[in-house]
Structure 1
C-alpha cells in the first residue's frame, strides 16, 4: 500500500469515526422544557399545595443551588427550611445569599398562593442565617382572591448576553422601582459609579477565579453533560450559561470538573465577564436597612418583585455579586457608589431585542419536600 493510499484510508476512518461519535454523543443542551414534572414519590400534598410550592421553587439562587426544603406539618402548613447541603461556603460563608434566595422563594410562594385564593401567614423562626428552620407558613382560604399573572413567574429568566446600551427610560425605571426608591438604586452607564462597578466587577471575578475554594465550588455546581443536568435538576447548565452550538457540544462531551480548575478556563471566564460588563444600561443596586434574617428575607422578596416585572419591559437583569463576595472590593463599595446602607444585590441591567425562554433547571417538589 502506498503512503498516499494509507493516508486517504486513515483520513476516511477518522471522519467516519468522528461522525459515528457525534451521532452517539451529547448533542443538545438539556433545558427546563425537557424536564417532566411528575411525582417521583408519594407525598401528602394537595394539588394546590404542589402547584404553589413548584412555582415558589422557580426563584433564583446562587449557582442555582435551590437552597430550600419544605417540611410538611399538615395540609397548608409548612416550615420553609435552609438546606445546608446546598450552601456555598466558598463565596457565601455567612449564608447571606442563601437567606436572600429563600426570600425570593417566599415572594413566589405568596404570589402563587394568592392567585389560588389563599392568604399566607408567615412566622419567622430563625435568628441566624445558619438556622435550619427559617419560617413557618400557614395558608388559609381568602375571602377575596388577589390575582397575579403566574406566567411572570414561569417565564422569569436570568439573561447574561446581548444587552443594549440604551439608558433605562425614566418611565421604565419608575415602574420597576415604584415605591421602593429607598432600597433600589439605578446607576446609569453615563455615571462614574457605573465605570467603577464595571472595573471592580472584573477585578472581583479575577480574584474569585484564582481563589481555589471558590473555583472548586463552582466546578461542583456546573452540569456539563445533559446526563448530569437531568440527574441533578439544579446547578449551572451550559444552556443557563448561554453556551450553545459547537462550543456547547464540545464542553458537554469533553469537559468535567477538573477542567474548571485549569488556567485556561479561569481566564476564559474572566474574558467573558469583561465582555458582559461592556454591554449594559447600567446597574441596579438593592440595599437593606440591616443584615438581620427578617430583613434579608424581605430584601430577597424585593429583588424577586423587581425580577418579575422586567420581562414585560424587555429589560434583563444579571446578578453579579462578586464585589460583595470578595473582601478587598466589598470594603470599597459603599463609598465608591455613594450609598450608606448595606448593598445586598448588584444587578447588571439593560434592554434586550429578543427575550429568550427560561432554561435553568428545577427539582420537582417531591425532591425538596420533607414529611
Structure 2
C-alpha cells in the first residue's frame, strides 16, 4: 500500500548557509525513536489497553495516513472505525485500500492482545467501505499459550532501497506463503510476469504523477519539516522516504508542498521508481476471492501476517500499488498474470544485507480514541 515516488535529489545541489543559520536549521531526520510518550489524557484506558492499541497502530497504510479510530465503549470493548479524514480519494476513490489497512490494524491488535493474555471476539459492522463503524471487538481474558512475539510488530519496516536481486530461496518462499498458497503468489525476478510488473509500475507511476489531484494529495501527506512531522505524527517524512544526509537536510529546510507540483520533482520521482524496480527478487501478489468488506479486511490481515515474517529472513517488502490505482494498467493486470482472483496487493520483495530500524511515525493512542 505505498505511493512514495520520491526524491533522488541532485548530488550537485549546493546551498551556502552561514554557521548561525545552520545551527537553527532542521538538521536531522525525525525518527520514531525520537518521539517521546505523550501524557495520556484518556483516564479510561488501562495500561494493557493502551499498549495493545499502540501496537495495533504500527500497521502500514498508504501515505502512512493511519485511517483508523477506536471508539471506546467500555474496558476491553471497542469499535474499530474508518476515519474519512484519512482517506485518499485521488488514488483510492472506493476506499479499498483504506479497508485493507484497517485489516492490517486488526491483525496487529489480535497479535498484541494475545501477547497480553486476551483473545479477540470480532463482530463485523460495516457493509460498505465507507461505513464509519467497521468492526466491534471484545477482548476476553484467556490462558496465554504461544503468545506472539510483539517485537516483530515493533520492528516491522517498509524498506524502499538497497534490495539485492537474488531470487528468494525455496525454503523462504514456503515459510512466507505457509498455509495460504491460494492467495499469495511469488513472481521471481527472472520471470516474464515480474518483468511485466516492473514495466507497468513505471507506467502507472508516470500516469499518476501526471494527474494533478493525485500529486496534490501526495503533497498533503508529506511532512517536509521535523516540526510538521512531530505535529501530525503521520504521513511521509524524509526518514520514511529514505532521503538521508545532505539531501534530507535540503528537503527539510527548503522544500514545501509547492515543490511537489513542479515537473522536476515529478521526474525525480519517476527516476526513483525506475531505480527501485531494477533492484528486487521479484514481486509478491496477494489476491482475494471478492471485494466484500469482510474479504478485504481478511486480505489486509493476511498481508500483515506476511509482513511480520519477513524481517527474520532478511527480506524487505515495499508495497507499490500504482498499477491497481490507475484504470488503464489495472484492467490489463489479471490477464497478464494469468490470475482470475482479485489482486489486492503488489509487493516488491528482496533480500537485504542490513535491515534498518523502523522510522515511520505514529499518532499517540489518545489521538485516535473516541468516547
Fold match (TM-score > 0.5):
yes
After superposition, residues 281-292 of structure 1 pair within 5 angstroms as 281-292=281-292
Contact 1:116 1:145 in 2 (8 A): no
Write the distance in 2 (CA, Å) between the matches of 1:80 and 1:146.
Answer: 26
The answer to whether the aligner puts 1:361 opposite 2:352 as a matched pair is no
Q: Secondary structure at the match of 1:309?
A: helix
After superposition, residues 1-371 of structure 1 pair within 5 angstroms as 18-371=18-371
Q: Deviations over 1:116-141 (max 9, x none)?
A: 11010000000000000000000011
Query: What's the TM-score once normalised by structure 2's chain length?
Result: 0.95
Larger radius of gyration: 1
Partner of 2:9: none
Contact 1:114 1:147 in 2 (8 A): yes
Write the distance in 1 (CA, Å) between the matches of 2:164 and 2:143.
Answer: 45
Write the distance in 1 (CA, Å) between the matches of 2:296 and 2:146.
Answer: 25
Contact 1:119 1:141 in 2 (8 A): yes
Contact 2:162 2:279 in 1 (8 A): yes
Q: Secondary structure at the match of 2:309?
A: coil
Write the distance in 1 (CA, Å) between the matches of 2:53 and 2:20.
Answer: 43
Q: Deviations over 1:174-217 (max 9, x none)?
A: 00000010000000011111111000000000000010010000
Write the distance in 2 (CA, Å) between the matches of 1:144 and 1:227.
Answer: 41
Q: Secondary structure at the match of 1:304?
A: helix
Q: Deviations over 1:265-322 (max 9, x none)?
A: 0000000000000000000000001000000000000000000000000000100000
Contact 2:115 2:144 in 1 (8 A): no
CA displacement at 1:21 relative to structure 2: 1.1
Write the distance in 2 (CA, Å) between the matches of 1:39 and 1:288.
Answer: 41
Q: Secondary structure at the match of 1:139?
A: strand
My pick for the range that moved more, 36-45 or 210-219, is 36-45
Contact 2:114 2:144 in 1 (8 A): no
Q: Deviations over 1:306-360 (max 9, x none)?
A: 0000000000010000000000000000001111100000000000000000000
Q: Secondary structure at the match of 2:18?
A: helix
Contact 2:106 2:301 in 1 (8 A): yes
Contact 2:55 2:112 in 1 (8 A): yes
Q: Deviations over 1:5-34 (max 9, x none)?
A: xxxxxxxxx96x622211110000111001
Contact 1:117 1:146 in 2 (8 A): no
RMSD of aligned Cα (Å): 1.0
Contact 1:39 1:364 in 2 (8 A): no
Partner of 2:3: none
Gaps of 5+ in 1: 1-13
Q: Secondary structure at the match of 1:201?
A: helix
CA displacement at 1:37 relative to structure 2: 2.1
Partner of 1:3: none
CA displacement at 1:39 relative to structure 2: 2.5
Q: Deviations over 1:69-103 (max 9, x none)?
A: 00000000000000000000010000000000000
Contact 1:285 1:346 in 2 (8 A): yes
CA displacement at 1:111 relative to structure 2: 0.4
Write the distance in 1 (CA, Å) between the matches of 2:340 and 2:21.
Answer: 57
Gaps of 5+ in 2: 1-14
Write the distance in 1 (CA, Å) between the matches of 2:332 and 2:42.
Answer: 51
CA displacement at 1:40 relative to structure 2: 4.5
Write the distance in 2 (CA, Å) between the matches of 1:236 and 1:75.
Answer: 33
Contact 1:76 1:138 in 2 (8 A): yes
